[in-house]
Every structure is written in structure tokens, then in C-alpha cells.
């Protein structure tokens, strides 16, 4: 992801709240806004606010911009989905009226609107309720008509067939294709960038159709994911990534791996009287390879990436590699020893470090899929 940040605004920060802040798209948007502190201030939202008028009003009154993402996607009763989503939109409208808000409200809707099912109907009616409020009360409204969204950390069997396939292929299950139709897709970070661009524009667009960034048959997507399983998950090879879509899909797939049990992966050593030979990485793509020595007691890293693919390979000495998903407290510890060379790959949105815990210099080989560019480093410092 290339987060496009303008020249810092000398005026006050724009205060942004996100209903559905802890959902799939909401969490990506919330975390990305956190990378732009010179421009935006995040107003925290909790789903319980919809059950408490005073809390909801307090939230709404603080916001210059509200991105309404809270919604129900799946339930055994379509009628319940319809009633829930319409009620959420109406509750937000009622709060906007009570507080006299003039906020810019961006409402997430779906291409399902055109299918006339109850879910699509609920999203359309919710969008229209927000648009009508804006017209009558001097606010601004943008209705986002969104195609199918995929990306890291989506909920399997809920958010997307991509999430379901990725989960199954990293947990010993076999996906099946029920309907091999063409699907219009957008990567979650591409959608986040569209939302941020609309926030910056600050104008009403009652019905904004967001174009997909890829159109793929379900079997095409599954074929790529099966390749990632065979080459990467089972064999440790970075596969050919021939397009931005494939790069994004690969990072999506990697996010479903259970890192605590999959890593570290030991290398295969070939030994003879001369010593040992180890293949560190097999590539279908290029990138940058480097190595470091680290003196005892020193820690490197404590940063995360939002798009880069990276491997740490310990070839001499003793190391502790730590990973933590940025919005959680769980720290994964991996102990590596150059006597049994091994590697750990860094997932996106996980801050990571490596520490020399031995008595001699630590030798580490680093591979990353793109050369370092200080103007677009995709490197954000955060303690594990």
C-alpha cells in the first residue's frame, strides 16, 4: 500500500469516527488513518453506542466525518439482516438530528443494491436515509457502492469467499466452488484509499460507484491460492506475482497462516566434508537481499509493513524473533539457532524485531520483495 499523504493542513485536524470500527474494513481504515496523524484525529467508536443514545450522541457530536460501516452481512434470517441494517442507519440519522450535526457521512453500501435481495435493499434504504438527512439538515453524504472486498484478516465464511478459501487452505481443508461466476473485487487497502480520498474532497456524492480493481472467476482465484499453498506454504518459495492483484492476494493468503505453529521453518542442509550448503530462498520475483551482524544483546527492527513481503533467516548465532499484530497484545516468540538454520516470514500489519540472545555475533540474511525507497518506505516504527 502506498499511503498518499498531502502537505499537512495547518488548520485543526479533521475528526473522524467509524461505526463498525472493529470490523474488517473498519479496522483497516482505522489503522491507516493512524498513519496520518498530521491530518486526522480518530474518534473511537464501540458497537454498544447503538444501544445507548447518550453515548451515540457524544460520539456523533465530536465527529467532522463519520464513516458508517456497521452492518450485518450474514444471518440465517434475511429479514433479520434487513431490519438490523435499516435500524442502524436510522439510529445514526436520529443522532445526527439530535446533535444538530453538519458532519460529512460516508455510508458503505454494496453492488448488491442492484440484485433486489433483502441485504441489498437494506443497504440502499440506509444510504438513502443518510442522503435525505444531509439534504434536509445541511450535512454532507457520500454513498459508497462497493464491490466484493478481500484482504488480510477478513472473517472466513462471512466477509468473502477469498477469506474462506484462504482459511481452508492454511488449515488443512479443501475449498469447493459452488458457483463459478465472475466476481468484481477490490483489495481492502485500495478501498481504504478511496474512502480517504473522498474524506479529503469533502463533497456530497449520494451514489458513488467504486470500480473494482480486478474481475476474476472464482476458479481463477482458487487456482492462484492453491499455487500459493503448494509453493509458499508447503515449499517456502515466493511465487511469481505477475500483477498488483496477485501481490495483494498473496498478502491476503499469508495473513491466514497460523504463525505460532508454522514458524520457524527449518532449512534443508546439505553437508559434506567441506561443510554445509543451505538454500535460503527460492524466488519467482526479485527484491532485495541483505545480511547483518548483530552484537549480543542488541535488538533490530520494531517496525511493520503494510504491503512488503519479508524473510528473516538466521544462519549463525542465537536469535529471538518477535511478532505482534499492531492492534493486539499477543506477542509471538520464535527462537532460532544458526546450528539449525531456520527462517520466519513477516506478515503485513505485524510489528516485528530480532534480538541477539547469544554470546557471539548473530548473522542474519534478510530478503524483502522490493528495494528500499526512503520516499515510500512502507516502514512504520512501533515497539513489539
Task: Please write the tens of the pLDDT for every residue from 76-112.
Answer: 788 999 999 999 999 999 999 999 999 999 999 888 8
Give the per-residue pLDDT at 120. 83
Residues 6+ away with beta carbon under 8 Å from 106: 65, 66, 67, 68, 141, 142, 144, 195, 198, 199
- Residue 291 has φ and ψ, to the nearest 5°, of -140, 160
Mean pLDDT of 44-70: 97
Give the per-residue pLDDT at 17. 98
Residue percentage of the chain with pLDDT more than 90: 84
Burial 217-254 (b: 16+ CB within 10 A, else e): ebeebbebbebbbebbbeebbbbebeeebbbbbbbbbb
Q: Is the pLDDT of residue 3 over 80?
A: no
- State the span(s) of the chain assigned CATH 2.60.120.10: 260-381
Q: Whole-angstrom Cα distance, residue 346 to residue 255?
A: 10
What superfamily does domain 14-148+187-210 belong to in CATH? NAD(P)-binding Rossmann-like Domain (3.40.50.720)
- Residue 249 has φ and ψ, to the nearest 5°, of -65, -40
Kindly report the CATH number that applies to the domain delimited by 260-381: 2.60.120.10
Burial of 54 per CB tally in 10 Å (0-12, 13-18, 19+): exposed
Amino acid at each position: 500500500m502506498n499511503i498518499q499523504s498531502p502537505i499537512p493542513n495547518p488548520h485543526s485536524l479533521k475528526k473522524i469516527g467509524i461505526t463498525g470500527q472493529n470490523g474488517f474494513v473498519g479496522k483497516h481504515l482505522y489503522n491507516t488513518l493512524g498513519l496520518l496523524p498530521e491530518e486526522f484525529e480518530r474518534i473511537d467508536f464501540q458497537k454498544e453506542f447503538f444501544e445507548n443514545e447518550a453515548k451515540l450522541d457524544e460520539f456523533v457530536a465530536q465527529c467532522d466525518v463519520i464513516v458508517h460501516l456497521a452492518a450485518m452481512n450474514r444471518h440465517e434470517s434475511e429479514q433479520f439482516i434487513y431490519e438490523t441494517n435499516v435500524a442502524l442507519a436510522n439510529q445514526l440519522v436520529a443522532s445526527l438530528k439530535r446533535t444538530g450535526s453538519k458532519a460529512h457521512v460516508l455510508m458503505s453500501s454494496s453492488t448488491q443494491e442492484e440484485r433486489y435481495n433483502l441485504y441489498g435493499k437494506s443497504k440502499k434504504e440506509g444510504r438513502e436515509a443518510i442522503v435525505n438527512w444531509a439534504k434536509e439538515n445541511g450535512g454532507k453524504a457520500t454513498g459508497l457502492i462497493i464491490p466484493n472486498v478481500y484482504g488480510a484478516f477478513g472473517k472466513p465464511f462471512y466477509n468473502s469467499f477469498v477469506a474462506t478459501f484462504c482459511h481452508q487452505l492454511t488449515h488443512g481443508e479443501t475449498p469447493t466452488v459452488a458457483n463459478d461466476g465472475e466476481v468484481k473485487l477490490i483489495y481492502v487497502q485500495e478501498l481504504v484509499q478511496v474512502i480517504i480520498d473522498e474524506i479529503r474532497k469533502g463533497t456530497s456524492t449520494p451514489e458513488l460507484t467504486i470500480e473494482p480493481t480486478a474481475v476474476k472467476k472464482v476458479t481463477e482465484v482458487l487456482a492462484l491460492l492453491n499455487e500459493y499453498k503448494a509453493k509458499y506454504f508447503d515449499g517456502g518459495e515466493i511465487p511469481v506475482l505477475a500483477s498488483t492483484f496477485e501481490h495483494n492476494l498473496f498478502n491476503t493468503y499469508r495473513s491466514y497462516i497460523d504463525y505460532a505453529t508454522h514458524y520457524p521453518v527449518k532449512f534443508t542442509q546439505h553437508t559434506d566434508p567441506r561443510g554445509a550448503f543451505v538454500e535460503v530462498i527460492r524466488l519467482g520475483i526479485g527484491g532485495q537481499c541483505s545480511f547483518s551482524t548483530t552484537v549480543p544483546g542488541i535488538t533490530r527492527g520494531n517496525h511493520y509493513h503494510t504491503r512488503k513481503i519479508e524473510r528473516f533467516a538466521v544462519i549463525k548465532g542465537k536469535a529471538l524473533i518477535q511478532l505482534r499484530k499492531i492492534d493486539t497484545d499477543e506477542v509471538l516468540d520464535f527462537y532460532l539457532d544458526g546450528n539449525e538454520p531456520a527462517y520466519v516470514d513477516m506478515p503485513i500489519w505485524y510489528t516485528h524485531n530480532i534480538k541477539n540472545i547469544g554470546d557471539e555475533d548473530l548473522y542474519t540474511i534478510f530478503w524483502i520483495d522490493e528495494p528500499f525507497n526512503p520516499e515510500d518506505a512502507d516502514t512504520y516504527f512501533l515497539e513489539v
